[in-house]
């Protein structure tokens, strides 16, 4: 199932991508996933307005390094000119691919006319893509099949985005109303794939190699995008790539070390506590470990608890 994907003038290593995950897909996490075989990784979604007004918090989300391989940046907004300015900014210079978020279901984003709200304004969505393409970047679009079961717009929206100049589409097979629950609508993704002549990536419900194969087979998509499953287990990419998983503790230690070097003690403590909580989900004694994790006060304590999690058979009580 693995193959390269051409996104305009850019070629990916393979067709199994890491989704943009707000609050999580920073450089260390992307680096881990890339090392396990992710063919393309996306930054957290970044506000185009935040870039325009020089927000330091926004810029922190954009740290990258040549050693992580091909990385795309995801931006969101609703003003075509501001979106183009973001694409042309120095902040986005390291990224050859700019993905436009037209699927975020979070109420704050939606009510501001951004994210999935653009599904209800396809002419504006077209204009945004047309302007962003003028920047010279390869422009991709991530969107959902619709707002709710009474407003499904997949095929039309795909056609509009491709016509506006997008080089690739990623389609989350759920409506805005369903958030991340419910079945993935294979048929709608399949319709979009048949309607356009650019690559289509299917997103939603992939938690195993078998899930990924089924999603591609049922939709005819060119590739898949993995989201929440990567938060619970970045080694999921190994199932597709054949890369050796290695040890879970070694992975965690590497991620914590990189995070600490980049973001400092406090951020690392809070962030890696959350990551460890994801990684131990389903393990025997997970509740006890989580309780200890969230009482830890520095990265060294977090790392020591992690060492015990993955080198001892039962947690201390």
274 and 135 within one domain:
no
Distance, in Å, from the CA atom of 32 to the CA atom of 42, rounded to the nearest integer, reads 13
262 and 144 within one domain:
no
When pLDDT is cut at 50, 70 and 90, the band that residue 315 belongs to is: very low
Domain-ending residue, one of 216, 241, 266: 241
255 and 235 within one domain:
no
Which of the residues 33, 41, 104, 132 is marked catalytic?
A: 104
pLDDT in tens, 269-293: 999 999 999 999 888 878 888 899 9
Classify residue 218 by burial, with Cβ atoms within 10 Å: 0-12, 13-18, 19+: middle
CATH of the domain at 287: 1.10.1200
Tell me whether residue 289 is in a domain. Answer: yes
Tell me whether residue 137 is in a domain. Answer: yes
Distance, in Å, from the CA atom of 134 to the CA atom of 157, rounded to the nearest integer, reads 20
201 and 58 within one domain:
yes
Entry pTM: 0.94
Lookup result for tokens 């931006």? 75
Domain count, the chain: 2
Nearest to 192 by CA among 217, 169, 215, 214: 169
Tell me whether residue 1 is in a domain. Answer: no
161 and 77 within one domain:
yes
100 and 33 within one domain:
yes
Tokens of 43: 């930054």
212 and 173 within one domain:
yes
What pLDDT is stored for residue 58 in this prediction? 81
pLDDT in tens, 4-18: 999 999 999 999 999
Percent of the chain with pLDDT over 90: 87
Nearest to 302 by CA among 279, 284, 281: 279
172 and 25 within one domain:
yes
Domain-ending residue, one of 226, 241, 256: 241
Tell me whether residue 222 is in a domain. Answer: yes
Distance, in Å, from the CA atom of 169 to the CA atom of 131, rounded to the nearest integer, reads 17
CATH of the domain at 155: 3.20.20.70
Distance, in Å, from the CA atom of 141 to the CA atom of 158, rounded to the nearest integer, reads 9
237 and 188 within one domain:
yes
190 and 124 within one domain:
yes
Distance, in Å, from the CA atom of 274 to the CA atom of 253, rounded to the nearest integer, reads 14
Distance, in Å, from the CA atom of 243 to the CA atom of 17, rounded to the nearest integer, reads 15
Distance, in Å, from the CA atom of 234 to the CA atom of 254, rounded to the nearest integer, reads 13
Neighbouring-strand partners of residue 42: 72
Is residue 41 flagged as an active site residue?
Answer: no
pLDDT in tens, 177-205: 998 888 999 999 999 999 999 999 999 99
Tell me whether residue 283 is in a domain. Answer: yes
Tell me whether residue 25 is in a domain. Answer: yes
- Evaluate whether 3 touches 11 at the Cβ level (below 8 Å): no
Domain-ending residue, one of 214, 241, 268: 241
Distance, in Å, from the CA atom of 281 to the CA atom of 166, rounded to the nearest integer, reads 38
Tell me whether residue 73 is in a domain. Answer: yes
- Evaluate whether 152 touches 188 at the Cβ level (below 8 Å): yes
Average pLDDT over residues 234-256: 96
200 and 257 within one domain:
no
Average pLDDT over residues 243-270: 96
Distance, in Å, from the CA atom of 134 to the CA atom of 106, rounded to the nearest integer, reads 29
The DSSP letter of residue 167 is: S
- Domain housing 263: 248-311
127 and 213 within one domain:
yes
Tell me whether residue 316 is in a domain. Answer: no
The three-state secondary structure class of 174 is strand
């Amino acid at each position: 199932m693995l193959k390269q994907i051409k996104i305009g003038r850019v070629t990916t290593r393979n067709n199994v991508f890491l989704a943009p995950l707000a609050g999580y897909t920073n450089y260390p996490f992307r680096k881990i996933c890339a090392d396990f075989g992710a063919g393309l990784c996306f930054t957290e979604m970044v506000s185009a307005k935040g870039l325009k007004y020089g927000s330091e918090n926004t810029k922190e989300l954009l740290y990258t390094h040549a050693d992580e391989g091909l990385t795309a940046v995801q931006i969101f907004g609703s003003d075509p000119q501001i979106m183009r300015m973001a694409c042309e900014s120095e902040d986005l210079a390291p990224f050859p691919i700019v993905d436009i978020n037209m699927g975020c279901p979070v109420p704050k984003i939606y009510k501001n006319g951004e994210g999935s709200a653009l599904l209800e304004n396809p002419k504006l969505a077209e204009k945004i893509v047309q302007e962003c393409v003028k920047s010279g970047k390869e422009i991709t679009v991530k969107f959902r099949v619709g707002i709710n079961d009474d407003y499904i717009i997949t095929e039309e929206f795909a056609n509009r985005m491709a016509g506006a100049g997008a080089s690739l589409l990623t389609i989350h097979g759920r409506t805005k109303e369903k958030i991340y629950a419910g079945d993935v609508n294979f048929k709608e993704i399949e319709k979009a794939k048949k309607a356009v002549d650019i690559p289509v990536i299917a997103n939603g419900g992939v938690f195993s190699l078998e899930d990924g194969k089924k999603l591609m087979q049922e939709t005819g998509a060119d590739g898949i995008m993995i989201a929440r499953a990567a938060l619970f287990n970045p080694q999921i990419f190994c199932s597709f790539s054949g890369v050796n998983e290695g040890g879970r503790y070694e992975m965690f230690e590497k991620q914590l070390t990189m995070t600490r070097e980049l973001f400092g003690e406090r951020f690392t403590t809070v962030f890696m506590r959350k990551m460890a909580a994801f990684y131990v989900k389903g393990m025997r004694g997970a509740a006890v470990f989580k309780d200890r994790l969230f009482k830890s006060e520095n990265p060294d304590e977090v790392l020591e608890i992690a060492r015990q999690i993955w080198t001892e058979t039962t947690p201390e009580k």
